[in-house]
Structure 1
């Protein structure tokens, strides 16, 4: 696929085109044009006359049951997009009043105009949808944005030709928000919108990172390379310069201009204020690219912009590609540089690293391979080279697709033993009438943990439901509900249907989302903090001055347990794989309180660190000989709290071998709802006060569930 942007004309207007051709096609194969358009600076605000409201002389149009009627015609909108509140008609013009759902108001400032609000602004066109074929937006022209952050808009839709309209949006005072000079609509066959059963007609594509096909021979190294701007240590052995000006001075003095100039971007800005870091790094990248493209001296060379963790290539934090969370500071650099690449092909190369030393060692080879293959974007994971490719969404390994025409669905497995059996299946129970104490929730994010992996593989008898926690917006309350209301942003345990768009929950399992939190942050909190709290407090009775061993302390429950134990004044010992010890150090652990979870050395080390006393409480998630070693760390007796599912033991047998040790295997699903409500209330106060903090999160689309769980 190729996006081409032309040079500016006399008015600053640039034409653009979008072409593609079949992967693997010969150099002489034709490119197919899919779209064309133009971009320019908007200098004048369009005249908007929507101050008188409702529109004088317009006849009101009944919108009761509107979304149910249009769904029957093929326009299916979820709760986030049902924004039409009122409508009027005056001749050929249609007017509407549109509002973002209350649960999305806090997101309005993140966009120029919120996508759900813009979509709903077109819904007055559907007032007579039942009389016409299904039509969808096809071509936009003369689009202008005059104000940002709108939550409520007035809309005027006027015909401007056959199958075309103009659209004007104003705020509640009639001041201009946006305008569309022309929007062309085209009729669509609904059967062509879902092509799961006919892959030959599948027009949906996704990006997949694949190994770079470099052939059997290693690519030759570029004749010369240089590195610029690496004040905190160079990435390569190439000659280093503090900035491009120093490189130019070297060339002017007689040095050869290198074929590739490597510049790391974003280093030193990975911690602290995200917003400030993004601004600093993007400003750095913009200045660098502008300086590079402005000089004819660099015309025959390639600028290699190196980021770290800026793009999700695939796999999980322990996977073969060593993926962790996307670095929000570096990620915008890719969007900025990609835009410049479309205007200046062959001048810029994006290369993303992970934290693996093998990737750093392979960087020169990666640059050489990219230049030889004329690849504009690459990523190194575990020393291997990957490039982005478009693949059909229907191909094996593609995203899951919700069932057609179904409003409520959930992620489930159709058979044991493999994550390939995961599917999105209908969930009519999520739309059933509410019972006593129940609420209906529009789920925005759901938490994933290892329990979902073993349940997805059907390894735990009696636990058949995927998903246990999440966050969203209350859309309906049943009788006897107290503490939550329609429109509230909530988080908590969701025993049924967490991995779906809508679910029904006992209100006692929910609490309000703390101010300033995203739904993703909120979804990652309930199960892990509740599990840690029930284990350490309710069952373990952990108190100030005692000591506790937390296994897998960099996992969700582990990180929650560490925060709670410290809040209660306990001394915490922690295990994790050695690759995650930096995380433990960042959590405040010193060397005496850290050991590996992959070997049995933690027993010897913590016995020595405690002078043979061991600990008072073990929060366990390990099995077999690791559990035995953990039990031996309770020589004075104590409490052994088993969260795992694969090595459950009999309490009396444990007591016989380890006198005075209380063994308890527990599961959050068996905690009474009233107790869950009490703990959630206490946790909510601690989060609001800043005593406890939310955990690091990585987000996945639910349609990528097999990849996420794997």
Structure 2
């Protein structure tokens, strides 16, 4: 959005976005805001490119630049990998950037991939030991942004560090003519500015392996109860002191053994329906078990795994639910 001009001829500008499936007009997220000023005098800043690379500038190997940026959480696709060469001299970094051959720079005043690649040259500010992160973060605040020429497909770049978290940017074409300049660019760490957009280097949830804890004991030699499952009864038919019960209510009406085994796996042809029914049954049993004081000193053990070895999909939600309840 661009606002109406004020008394000085300046206009507000803002960039918002929302998911295209979201109909809530209050869900627009503000990404950037600023002020557009009408310049009556065009300032054509530039820097000397007559000697290139600049004298006394140390070449910087950019071969693994994008691997290092990816490790910092900044991952770029092929169009945005435009950094070709860089040199470091004190508080200055000089660089060459270019668009991929298939990308037309003439479709923009300054192609965003080319402009972004110019900022990637801040990679070269890192010390020889590589302990400094590129730019210290991502672009946050801009001042004095000017476009002097349009349609560039290759640039020579000078970045001048003006503070711990700020830079001045000057861009010229290969002949040395000014293309764009930024008086001040302030950066912030990505973790502080991603605003919950999901661009963090690591996801909030992930799958991982954890060590299994060794069993701390064995089943009590006391009687074991089987709860309403013929398959379990067949497996434990030779067990001493075996108790069977159709449901928890029947079990609670007698002396409750220290261990109660129950299986909720079913063999419905529809795996999805089977999984839903098994999980619902497990949830019901857990709730009823916890609500009955007579079960407080006993253990309820869910046995998972169909007899034909095909129950993994049906058993998974049961295992997850019971582990969460425990």
TM-score normalised to the size of structure 2? Answer: 0.50
* Counterpart for residue 79 of structure 1: 78
Aligned equivalents of 2:74, 2:145: Cα separation in 1: 24
Partner of 2:256: none
- Counterpart-to-counterpart distance in 2, 1:99 and 1:18: 27
- Matches of 2:71 and 2:31, distance apart in 1: 31
1:108 to 2:114 alignment: no
> Does the CA contact (< 8 Å) of 2:45 and 2:181 recur in 1?
no
Cα 1:167–1:20 change in 2 (3 A) is closer
The 2-side partners of 1:122 and 1:62 are apart by 16
Task: Tell me the SS of whatever aligns to 2:102.
Answer: helix
CA contact (8 A) 2:123 2:133 kept: no
- Distance, in Å, in 2 between the alignment partners of 1:85 and 1:150 is 15
2:293 corresponds to: none
What CA distance in whole angstroms lies between the structure 1 residues aligned with 2:45 and 2:147? 13
Residues 90-127 of structure 1 deviation map (CA, whole Å, 9 limit, x = unaligned): 111111011112222xx111111111111101011123
For residues 376-429 of structure 1, what are the alpha-carbon distances to aligned partners after superposition, in whole Å with 9 as ceiling and x for unaligned? xxxxxxxxxxxxxxxxxxxxxxxxxxxxxxxxxxxxxxxxxxxxxxxxxxxxxx
User: How far apart are the structure 2 equivalents of 1:170 and 1:34?
Assistant: 28
SS, match of residue 122 in structure 1:
helix
Q: How far apart, in 1, do the equivalents of 2:112 and 2:45 lie?
A: 23
Q: Matches of 2:162 and 2:85 in 1, distance apart?
A: 23
Q: Is the 8 A contact 2:85 2:95 kept in 1?
A: yes
Output the CA distance in 1 between the equivalents of 2:202 and 2:72. Answer: 21
- Alignment match, 2:36: 39
The whole-number CA distance in structure 1 between the counterparts of 2:92 and 2:154 is: 20
Change (3 A) 1:38 1:59: same
Count matched residues.
189
8 Å contact kept, 1:167–1:180: yes
Tell me how far apart the structure 1 counterparts of residues 116 and 16 of structure 2 sit (CA, whole Å): 26
C-alpha contact (below 8 Å) 1:4/1:18 kept by paired residues:
no
Partner of 2:266: none
CA distance in 1 between partners of 2:15 and 2:121 (Å): 31
Q: Does the 8 Å CA contact 2:10/2:35 hold for their aligned counterparts?
A: yes
Q: What residue in structure 1 maps to residue 63 of structure 2?
A: 64
Assess if the C-alpha contact under 8 Å between 1:95 and 1:156 holds in 2: yes
Distance 1:58 1:67 in 2: 22
Counterparts in 2 of 1:193 and 1:24: CA distance versus 1, 3 Å: closer
Match of 1:174 in 2: 176
Q: Is the 2:73–2:201 contact (alpha carbons within 8 Å) kept by the matching residues of 1?
A: no
Aligned-pair distance for 1:193? Answer: 1.1
Alpha-carbon distance between aligned partners in 2 of 1:40 and 1:72, rounded to the nearest angstrom: 38
Residues 429-453 of structure 1, C-alpha deviation per residue, up to 9 Å, x if partnerless? xxxxxxxxxxxxxxxxxxxxxxxxx
Contact 1:165 1:184 in 2 (8 A): yes
Kindly state the Cα deviation for residue 178 of structure 1 after the two structures are TM-superposed. 0.6
Matches within 5 A, 1:279-428: none
Q: Which residue, out of 116, 120, 133, partners 1:119?
A: 116
Equivalents in 1 of 2:30, 2:106: separation in Å? 35
Specify the SS of the correspondent of 1:156: strand
Question: 1:534 maps to what in 2?
Answer: none
**Contact conserved, 2:2 with 2:11, CA < 8 A, in 1?**
no
Q: How much has 1:153 moved relative to structure 2?
A: 0.6
Structure 1 portions without partners, runs of 5+ = 26-30, 200-710
- The equivalent residue for 2:48 is 50
Q: C-alpha distance in 2, partners of 1:187/1:196?
A: 15
Secondary structure of the corresponding residue to residue 50 of structure 1: coil
Paired residues of 1:70 and 1:130 also in contact (CA < 8 A):
no
Q: Does 1:98 align with 2:100?
A: no
Aligned twin of 1:281: none
SS at match of 1:5: coil
Alpha-carbon deviation of 1:16? Answer: 4.1
Say if 1:64 and 1:13 are closer, same or farther in 2 by CA, change over 3 A: same
1:115–1:9: structure 2 CA closer, same or farther, 3 Å change rule?
A: same
The secondary structure found in structure 2 opposite 1:172 is coil
4+ residue stretches of structure 1 with deviation over 6 A?
18-22, 31-34, 195-199
Q: Assess, with a 3 A threshold, how the Cα gap between structure 1 residues 197 and 61 changes in structure 2: closer, same or farther.
A: closer
Larger radius of gyration between Structure 1 and Structure 2: 2
C-alpha deviation, 1:174, in angstroms: 0.8
Match of 1:193 in 2: 199
What are the within-5 Å matches in structure 2 for residues 225-624 of structure 1? none
2:166 paired residue number:
164
Once the two structures are superposed, the pairs formed by residues 197-212 of structure 1 within 5 Å of their partners are none
Instruction: Please state how far the C-alpha of 1:75 moved relative to its aligned partner.
Output: 2.4
- 2:148: which partner in 1? 146
By how many angstroms is 1:196 displaced? 11
C-alpha RMSD over aligned residues: 3.4
Distance across 2 between alignment mates of 1:109 and 1:33: 29
Q: Is the 8 A contact 1:69 1:130 kept in 2?
A: no
Instruction: Provide the rounded CA distance (Å) in 2 between the counterparts of 1:112 and 1:130.
Output: 36
Structure 1 residue 170: deviation in Å?
A: 0.2
What is the CA–CA distance in structure 1 between the aligned matches of 2:204 and 2:69, rounded to whole Å?
26
* Residue 161 of structure 1, CA deviation: 3.1
1:639-665 Cα offsets, whole Å, 9 max, x none, are xxxxxxxxxxxxxxxxxxxxxxxxxxx
Measure the CA separation in 2 of the matches of 1:115 and 1:33: 19
Kept after mapping to 2: 8 A contact 1:99/1:151: yes
- With structure 1 as the length reference, what TM-score do the two structures score? 0.24
Consecutive unaligned residues of structure 2, counting only runs of 5 or more, are: 206-326
Q: Residue 168 and residue 24 in structure 1: after superposition, are their counterparts in 2 closer, same or farther (change >3 A)?
A: closer
What is the distance in 2 between the residues matched to 1:76 and 1:130?
Answer: 19
